[in-house]
Structure formats: C-alpha cells, structure tokens
Amino acid sequence: MKLTPTIAIFCARALRDFGDGFIVVLLPVYLTAIGFDALQIGLVATLALLGSAAMTLAAGLLGVRIDKRTLLLAASCLMVVTGVAYAATATTALILLIAFVGTINPSSGSVSIFVPLEHAVLAHAVADGARTRMFSNYSLIGALAAAAGALLVGSPDLAVNFGMERVAAIKLLFIFYAVLGIAGGWFYTCIPADNTPTQERPTAALGPSRTIVYKLAALFSIDALAGGFAVQSLVALWLFNKFGLSLTTAGVFFFWSGVFAAFSFPVAAWLSRKIGLINTMVFTHIPSSLFLICAALAPSLNLALLFLLARAALSQMDVPTRSSYVMAMVTPAERPAAASVTSVPRSLAAALSPAIAGALFAAGFEAWPLIICGVLKIGYDILLLLTFRQFKPPEELQV
C-alpha cells in the first residue's frame, strides 16, 4: 500500500506518541523503584531535555543538506536503542547517559528530534490556507495516541496480580516502546527521498527570516522554561506524593487529560481562522495557566484533577497554531532550521526547570513548581501578544 508523506508522518507520530503516553508517566515510577530520589529524577528530566535540544538542533541544521527521510529513519533507530537501554540497566551513570542521548522526553510529543523534520515535510505538502488545519490534525492524532498510551500506565500493577514483579513489568513496556520505534521507522520509509543534487541545496540553514526566527525562539524559551516546572512526569510525581494517586487512577486521568487536549486542536484551528494565530495562542494559554495555579492550591485530589483537566482542555491549543505560525513566517528552504531553532531554546530553557522543580520537591515545596509555571507562562503570553500581533501569516493577510 502506497502512503502519502502526510499519512506516513501521521502514522509514525501516532506510534511515537502512544509510546510517550505511558513511558513518560512510568519513567519516574521506574526510577523511584530502582533507587532514584526526587532530585535525581529532576536531573534525569533535565538531561533528557538537554539531549533533545542537541539532537533537535542537529536535525534542523542537517535537514537543509541531508535527506529528511534518512534523518527520520536514524531518529527511529535511536528510539529503539533508547527503549532497550532503559530496560537493560539500572546503573545511575548509564541511566543519566541514556537520558541525555535518548528519545524519551519528559515533556512528551512537541519537543523531539523528529519534530523539525516532520514539520518541514508537512508544511511543504499543503497550501497556506490548509496549513493550520493540517497541523491541528497532526497534533490531534498525536494527542489521541498519547491518551490511549496512558491507559497502559496501570498495566504493571495488573501484572503484579499475576505474579510478575513490578519493575520487570515496567521494563517490558520499555521494550514495547522500542518496538514502536521500529514500526514508526517503517512508515518513514514511505516518504519519498529528496533527490535534489547537493550542490543545488541551500548552504545556509537560515536566511531572510533569521531575525523573526530568533525573536520567536527567545519568546518560546520563556514558555518552555515555565513548562519545565510542570512537565508531565513531574505532575505525575506531585500527584503520587501529595495525594497518593495510584498508577491505575493516574492512567485514567492522563488518558482523559490527553483526550481533552486532543480535541482542543481542531478548536484551535477553527478559532485561528476567526481571530488569528497569535490571538488564539495567547487567549487560550492565559486561562490554562490560571487553572494550573488553582490546581497547585487545591485542597483535595478531586479538585486538583478537575483544575488539571480544565488546563488540559486549553493549554495545548497553542501547539498547532505555533507550528503553523513558524512555518508561515519563513521560506520553504528555512523550515527545518526554523522548526529546530525555535524548538532548541525551548528545550534548553525547559532543561533548567525540572532540576529546580526536583529540588523544590525534595525541600517540601511541592506546589511551588506549578505556581511558578503558571506565572511565567502568563508573562510569556503577554510578551508574545505585544511583540507579534502585527506580524500576520499569508492566509491572514489575504482576508
């Protein structure tokens, strides 16, 4: 069966995010089980984000000179190695190394080595007017897959009932994550190779759009710094520690959280046609940050989960709109680099906060990372609106 590049990438994204859906929640559980404390778990998250930054930058810069299909296949191989390596060792130094060079990212789907390459292929495949809708579908598929993957979070507890050790059951899920990497790699083989002669390809990754890309990268890094205080792994750890949330309940919660986020993407595409990409990003993001602050201050588990679900319904609406905006504001040749350059500062900034959050957890200030996240994100939204409201993508200029 011959697949279009868009369908192939959608399928690969679904498999990858299905794996992320259970692995990012189980990672802190696994690390705790093999003797890591909260500070060390925060360090693992920081190293994972730093590694993602380096890999993402390399992918974006190489994407202008090397065939994107080749790079995506290499990234799939790295995903396979990551899953097998986590399952094979419990040594602290090796875990830290795997965290840095591997593909398991505590912030899940939107920041990874795969993203700039997939964005460039997808943006090339559609017209301006369909770009945001296409990115919303891309995000929707990923979020639904991640939500489905979250249902596997409780499977280690079920395995214990059948006589298997909990750690052994979690290791099997790391192996399953590796298998998903193999399947995703097969879908990337359906993308046509880029046969443009090397001498005819651009020599500079960024050209005329360099200034606007750097400005966006600076602002996005503020958002990512904030988000690093409340990555999914740390939110899960907070719920486990403060309220004694079970793995089974956590799986159900993260499933519904993912579903709410997923169905916000088509809404974001529709809303962006009414009020514009920047306004959609800002006016959905601020309420979601307020809900996160409320969750941090909630006196009961049910209330905290309610606020977190409300946040989930709004917090990711800037994902497809942000991707679409970046692709719209640069030339086609600059797209891989623009996607990576706007992602890498996000990864670097986000890499700082999990370790700080882990230190706050260890010191007993478990609500503070969520509050800090909410306040910083509101500041970012205001700056984004003031800086870029007048810079409109082609489809908005045509209205």
Query: What are 381-395's pLDDT values in tens digits?
Result: 999 999 988 888 877
Taking residues 48-60, what's their average pLDDT? 77
DSSP for residue 230: G
Q: Which CATH number fits domain 5-191+201-392: 3.40.50.970, 1.10.10.60, 1.10.10.10, 1.20.1250.20?
A: 1.20.1250.20
Q: Are 166 and 157 in contact (CB under 8 A)?
A: yes
Span 78-102, mean pLDDT?
90
Return the sign of the alpha-carbon dihedral for residues 359, 365, 369, 372. negative
pLDDT confidence of residue 206 = 67
Domain ranges of the chain: 5-191+201-392
The position carrying tokens 């956590």 is: 250
What confidence tier does 78 reach under pLDDT thresholds 50, 70, 90? Answer: very high
Largest CA distance in the chain: 63
Helix axis angle, 318-328 relative to 247-275, nearest 10°?
50
Q: Which amino acid is at 285?
A: H
- Residue 363 identity: A
Length of the chain (residues): 399
In degrees, rounded to 5, the angle at the alpha carbon of residue 224 between the alpha carbons of residues 243 and 394 is: 130
Write down the pLDDT at residue 200.
47
Mean pLDDT computed over every residue of the chain = 84
> Quick one: CA dihedral 99, 100, 106, 108, positive or negative?
negative
What gap in Å lies between CA 223 and CA 374, rounded to an integer?
Answer: 10
pLDDT tens digits for range 226-261: 988 887 778 888 888 888 888 788 878 888 888 888
**Please, which residues have CB within 8 angstroms of residue 121's CB and are 6 or more apart in sequence?**
5, 9, 68, 191
pTM across the whole model = 0.75
The answer to whether 276 touches 260, Cβ cutoff 8 Å, is: no
* pLDDT greater than 90 at residue 89: no
Q: Is 14 strand, coil or helix?
A: helix
pLDDT tens for residues 111-157?
Answer: 578 888 888 888 887 777 788 888 888 888 988 888 888 888 888 88
Give 167-198 pLDDT, tens digit per residue.
Answer: 899 999 999 999 999 999 999 998 887 665 55
- Of the two residues 109 and 56, the one the predictor is more confident about is 56
* CA gap 3, 93 in Å, rounded: 42
